[in-house]
Amino acid sequence: MKAIVVTEHGGPEVLAGAEAATPTPGAGEVLVDVSAAGVNYIDVYHRTGLYPIEPPFTPGLEGAGTVAELGEGVTEYAVGDQVAWSQVPGSYASQVVAPVAALLPVPSDVPPTVAAAVLLQGLTAEYLSSSTHPVAAGDEVLIHAGAGGVGLLLTQLVKHRGGRVIATVSSEDKAELSKEAGADEVIGYEGFADRVRELTGGRGVDVVYDGVGKATFEGGLASLRPRGLMALFGQASGPVPPMDPQTLAKHGSLYLTRPIGAHYLGPKEFRRRADGLFSLISSGELSVRIGGEYDLDRARLAHEDLEARRTTGKLLLVP
Ligand code: NDP
């Protein structure tokens, strides 16, 4: 089988294609022929070593494909079933072994590329908008990187719950996409905190969803209403430096959370949230933008584009 293998942490150039032996599924596992693997910003953190994984490793957590072989005791799936996943390490490959608990059956009306594209960013958008801050009708929220993978999905889910979205983007093209996803106001990053004040009549937003991190964190705090919530869920621009808790008092007795999927996506929640996402896709209420498809052996280019902010929506690798 084909796989991308990282033998040392570093830039996109460490994403090298390799031939590997086809793995054998153990008890409770299946072998899947990957139809597409999702690219996520966390794959960059793994590649650089910001989130340490010891090399050599195959990056990627997400994808969709066809069950090719069953391990001992597997009764939930049959060979030929379409499945998707968001937490199976080694997904940048033509085949992957996955524990049954990490898999979801793909509904027949959801195309495989959409199934491969939506889970990781979609489940994140789902838990951020329904649990981290359960958005209520009339809530005003600020979403950074509004045309990104999480950004486009989160914008739609917040609108679905009756919220008002102010989104930041870095270009006109991205502004168009963010508006199409439902953002009420789309602004640039320069001076965004002042602009958010103007757009909320001086009050500030109820919640900031910040996946950009270092470059936007301070401005985000200054964009919140008193007792508002900063949901810092990523760091595309770099990690946020340590801060003095007194800063939260200064900006209005704010709340700060740093959510990760592990605490929102236990087995039952994973299934429930994914079912919700798939049914919104089936009913046409959630649209998934695939902004780029790359051959698996061009994973390097996909990472270069992602880090250079040239991408929108979801990137897929096709073996
Ligand atoms: P995106 O598709 O959103 O890509 C990142 C975007 O961030 C860029 O397109 C760019 O949009 C913006 N950006 C701003 N500054 C920079 C910078 N200096 N370098 C690169 N990009 C920058 O990626 P994802 O949707 O995959 O992820 C978004 C964030 O969400 C990431 O931080 C990721 O780690 C996080 N995340 C967190 C999860 C969790 O459970 N905690 C799960 C999934 C994702 P623009 O050009 O418009 O500024």
CATH number of residue 46's parent domain: 3.90.180.10
Same structural domain, 173 and 233: yes
Percent of the chain scored above 90 by pLDDT?
A: 99
Confidence of residue 259 (pLDDT cuts 50, 70, 90): very high
Residue 124 resides in a domain: no
Same structural domain, 285 and 223: no
Same structural domain, 145 and 244: yes
**Residue closest by Cα to atom 34 of ligand 1:** 234
For the CA of 258, the nearest atom of ligand 1:
41
Alpha helices in the chain (DSSP H): 41-48, 112-127, 149-160, 172-180, 192-199, 217-221, 246-250, 267-282, 299-307
For the CA of 235, the nearest atom of ligand 1:
32
Residue 115 resides in a domain: yes
Q: Cβ(177)–Cβ(149) under 8 Å?
A: no
Q: How many residues are present in the chain?
A: 319
**Residue closest by Cα to atom 28 of ligand 1:** 211
**End-of-domain residue from the set 257, 277, 305:** 257
271-291 core/surface letters (b: 16 or more CB in 10 A; e: else): eebbebbbebbeeeebebbbb
CA of 146 to the centre of ligand 1 (A): 9
Residue 184 resides in a domain: yes
CA of 213 to the centre of ligand 1 (A): 9
pLDDT tens per residue, range 60-72 = 999 999 999 999 9
**End-of-domain residue from the set 241, 257, 273:** 257
Residue 152 resides in a domain: yes
Same structural domain, 147 and 247: yes
pLDDT at residue 167, rounded to an integer? 99
**End-of-domain residue from the set 257, 274, 305:** 257
pLDDT at residue 188, rounded to an integer? 98
Same structural domain, 241 and 302: no
Mean pLDDT rounded to a whole number for the chain? 97
Q: Cβ(18)–Cβ(5) under 8 Å?
A: yes
The domain in which residue 45 lies consists of: 2-119+265-318
pLDDT tens per residue, range 144-160 = 999 999 999 999 999 99
Confidence of residue 91 (pLDDT cuts 50, 70, 90): very high
pLDDT at residue 312, rounded to an integer? 98
Count of structural domains, the chain: 2
Residue 30 resides in a domain: yes
CA of 259 to the centre of ligand 1 (A): 15
Residue 130 resides in a domain: no
- Quick one: tokens of 43? 């794959």
Residue 23 resides in a domain: yes
- Quick one: tokens of 236? 């595309």
pLDDT tens per residue, range 156-179 = 999 999 999 999 999 999 999 999
Same structural domain, 188 and 170: yes
Same structural domain, 62 and 157: no
* Ligand 1 surroundings by CB, under 6 angstroms: 40-42, 120-121, 124, 145, 147-151, 169-170, 174, 211-212, 215, 233-237, 259-261, 306-307, 309, 311
For the CA of 310, the nearest atom of ligand 1:
9
Tell me the whole-structure pTM to 2 decimals: 0.98
- Residue to probe by mutation, ligand 1, list 61, 288, 309, most atoms within 8 Å of CB: 309
Same structural domain, 115 and 12: yes
**Residue 209 CB neighbours (<10 A):** 34
Same structural domain, 157 and 240: yes
Same structural domain, 111 and 163: no
pLDDT at residue 152, rounded to an integer? 98
pLDDT at residue 285, rounded to an integer? 97
Same structural domain, 271 and 252: no
Confidence of residue 236 (pLDDT cuts 50, 70, 90): very high
**Residue closest by Cα to atom 8 of ligand 1:** 309
Through-space distance between the first and last CA atoms of the chain, rounded to whole angstroms? 9
pLDDT tens per residue, range 279-319 = 999 999 999 999 999 999 999 999 999 999 999 999 999 99
For the CA of 307, the nearest atom of ligand 1:
20
For the CA of 150, the nearest atom of ligand 1:
25
SS3 142: strand
Residue 243 resides in a domain: yes
CATH code for position 149 = 3.40.50.720
pLDDT tens per residue, range 178-222 = 999 999 999 999 999 999 999 999 999 999 999 999 999 999 999
Same structural domain, 179 and 151: yes
CA of 212 to the centre of ligand 1 (A): 6
CA of 79 to the centre of ligand 1 (A): 36
pLDDT at residue 85, rounded to an integer? 98
**Residue 154 CB neighbours (<10 A):** 30
**Residue 47 CB neighbours (<10 A):** 27
Q: DSSP secondary structure string, 74-118?
A: --S--TT-EEEES--S--SBSEEEEEGGGEEEPPTTS-HHHHHHH
Q: How far is CA 285 from CA 34, 108, 154, 163, 167, in A?
A: 27, 17, 13, 15, 20
pLDDT at residue 45, rounded to an integer? 97
**Residue closest by Cα to atom 42 of ligand 1:** 124
Closest CA to 40 of 319, 242, 316: 316
